[in-house]
Amino acid sequence: MPRTEFIATGFHVPERVVTNDDLAHIMDTSDEWITQRSGIKARHWVSDGETGATLARRATLQALAKAGMRASDLDCIVYCTCTPDHFEPGNGVFLQRELGISDIPAIDVRNQCAGFVYGLSVADAWIRAGQYARVLLVGAEVHSRGLDRTTRGRDTAVLFGDGAGVAILGPTDAPGRGVLSTHLYADGRHAEKLWVDAPGLAHDPFISAELIEQGKHRAVMEGREVFKFASVLMPQSVATALQANGLTPADVTLLVPHQANLRILEMVQKAVGLRDDQVYVNIQKYGNTTAASIPIALHEALCEGRLERGDLLVLTAFGSGFTWASAAIRW
Ligand code: ACO
């Protein structure tokens, strides 16, 4: 059975950069507080006319150019997001339309920060089974329009940013290379610890002035609980991925974790027992871009020459649900 390889990656973030000092002008916060708690210095926010699908399109065109492919060469779109452009249909079809193609399937994966690794697992299964040979895997988010950008929402508004990252995946027969394993987890007992309550069909009506007045359409988070679980479960998922393949932390060339929060990443690094050069961090520039953070980080790591053929790449992610995941990939 073939394994799945990464053929090319791409990413795109909006031009508009919002620094911590910019945020301090619109809410009661400071560069010092944000930097100390999260490591974030800036994030990108969309401007008029930009949507998740338009960001994803730009990222996809970059990856297609790198791969020497056309959009019509794609067999399937797996689109991971928790901030879709519309309630329905999913964003995969909007991206498909933006790319000027039709007649290929498009599926949305709604697993928040763990979305990209969940999506990778889905794409990997299809590729190994021979169902699709060229899968476009997308992580894309537009958080800024959903954030409460006032002092009331400051605990979450300062953390999240907009952006898109993609990977084009396909089968390889090269011995030992490709996605070695993926590991997916969920624990719905914690669903309300990081969630957006409305709009939602659990409410009747599913959206109302009252729900909006109550701020139910905003992401709310029990930050300390998220921190506590993420800093234990992310390293656990890395350990599982290594054990499943008979590997140790010393074998890891690069861990590309979901860029949740620098303090979480530091705890993950310590718990797994990795050196600084084994962990890729770019949260300072982009904030937490949820499903987009791993493909954006992976693309930047590749551009910096941090991965060579035969290197071991490990991914780990944790987020709302709670859902978390890891993957081991022989590059
Ligand atoms: N600027 C200034 N002050 C703030 C801000 C802000 N942006 N946000 C909250 N505060 C204040 C609070 O009001 C509180 O003030 P008080 O003591 O007067 O009540 C004080 O700072 C401390 O608030 P806490 O919420 O207790 O702050 P904490 O030290 O726990 O840090 C944080 C909050 C950064 C969210 C932390 O809990 C955390 O890192 N959690 C992890 C969650 C995370 O990073 N999630 C990312 C998304 S999920 C994921 O990707 C896995």
Q: What is the pLDDT of residues 172-228, one digit of tens each?
A: 999 999 999 999 999 999 999 999 999 999 999 999 999 999 999 999 999 999 999
Each residue of 225-274: pLDDT tens digit? 999 999 999 999 999 999 999 999 999 999 999 999 999 999 999 999 99
Buried b (16+ CB within 10 A) or exposed e, 245-257: eebebeebbbbbb
- Together in a domain, 124 and 185: no
Are 233 and 160 part of one and the same domain?
Answer: no
Distances in whole angstroms, Cα of residue 277 to Cα of each of 88, 151, 269, 283 = 42, 37, 10, 16
List the beta bridge partners of residue 325.
Answer: 184, 317
Catalytic residue among 12, 113, 143, 261: 113
Do residue 25 and residue 135 come from a single domain? yes
Does 210 share its domain with 296? yes
CA 18 to centroid of ligand 1, rounded, Å: 19
- Respond yes or no: is residue 91 known to be catalytic: no
**Same domain for 250 and 282?**
yes
Domain count, the chain: 2
Q: What are phi and psi of 151, to 5 degrees?
A: -60, -30
Quick one: which of 171, 174, 172, 149 has its CA closest to 162? 149
Q: Are residues 129 and 269 in the same domain?
A: no
How much is the average pLDDT of 10-33?
98
218 and 149 both lie in a single domain: no
- CATH code, domain carrying 116: 3.40.47.10
> Is residue 139 located within the same domain as residue 241?
no
Mean pLDDT over residues 56-79, rounded?
98
Give residue 1's pLDDT band: very low, low, confident or very high (50, 70, 90).
Answer: confident
Mean pLDDT of 302-314: 97
| 280 Rama sector, left if φ>0, alpha if ψ -120 to 50, beta otherwise | beta
Name the nearest CA neighbour of 141 among 298, 248, 293: 293
Q: Which residues form ligand 1's pocket by a CB distance below 6 Å?
A: 29, 33-34, 37-38, 113, 154-155, 158-159, 194, 223-224, 226-227, 230, 260-261, 263, 288, 318-319
On the question of pLDDT at 284 being above 90, the answer is yes
The pick from 37, 150, 262 for probing ligand 1's pocket by mutation, whose C-beta has the most ligand atoms within 8 angstroms, reads 37
Instruction: State which residues form the domain around 148.
Output: 3-172
Last residue of a domain, one of 144, 172, 200: 172
Q: What is the pLDDT of residue 119?
A: 98
Contact 84, 109 (CB under 8 A): no
Q: With both helix axes pointing from N to C terminus, report the angle between 262-272 and 31-38 in degrees, rounded to the nearest 10.
A: 20
Residue of 117, 187, 261, 264 to test ligand 1 pocket, by largest number of atoms within 8 Å of CB: 261
Residue at which a domain ends, from 172, 206, 235: 172
Domain edge (last residue) among 137, 172, 207? 172
Tokens of 14: 């909006």
pTM tops 0.85, yes or no: yes
